[in-house]
Structure 1
Amino acid sequence: MSAEFNAAAEKVKNLKAKPTDQELLDIYALFKQASVGDNNTSRPGTFSLDLKGKAKWDAWEKLKGMSKSEAETQYVNKINQLVEQYGLN
């Protein structure tokens, strides 16, 4: 992980307002793709009540095939956009 990526990961913790659920899913998926790579876990079961877990899994799965470096770049760009939108504490 680059210093820029790590700095962005810290910035997101200090936003003045909470991002939307979709923005949170986007940054979660980009973070996972940049740090782990393609999703290699099983999707939470059909009858599981873990709707949040399913949404996170689906968001990450959509990035399958994206390189770690591309995900890192997109993550940093997304965090910078959120900082401009919400500001920092």
Structure 2
Amino acid sequence: MSDLASKFELAVKYVQDGMAKDQYKDSNKELTDDDRLLFYAFYKQVTEGDVKGSQPYAINFVARAKWDAWNKVKGLSKEDAMQQYVDLLSQMAPEWFSYSGLDKYRK
């Protein structure tokens, strides 16, 4: 597994397990819906490739927002999507990689 793939896996664990809330508990930093959608889009691009299916109806707001976000990164390579996921997290939580909560996932 490449260094980027390993770092991506750690970044996903950090985001999915909500470790930022613990690491930055004394901060007023919060993920916006747009931030969450970006993480979702990059993750889906890495794990499934380009968006599939047709755009959901606007009345199904959540599904449509996710589809739209994923569609915006259509054509992005797996490696580029991994890198952008890691870069986005590094921008939002600069010390994430050294967070001790990730130690159990390090290989």
Whether these two folds match at TM > 0.5 is: yes
Secondary structure in structure 2 of the residue aligned to 1:84 = coil
2:10 to 7, 23, 31: 7
Cα RMSD (Å) of the superposition? 2.3
Amino acid at match of 1:26: L
Higher Cα Rg: structure 1 or 2? 2
Alpha-carbon deviations, 1:58-88, whole Å to 9, x = none?
0000111111110011001111222239xx7
CA distance in 1, matches of 2:53, 2:19: 30
Identity of aligned residues (%): 38
Structure 1 moving runs of 4+ over 3 Å: none
1:15-54 alignment to 2 at 5 Å? 15-16=20-21, 18-46=30-58, 49-54=59-64
Query: In 1, distance between residues paired with 2:52 and 2:33?
Result: 23
Find the partner of 1:66 among 76, 82, 85: 76
Give the C-alpha shift of residue 18 in structure 1: 3.8
Matched residue count:
86
Give ranges in structure 2 of 5+ residues lacking alignment: 22-28, 102-107
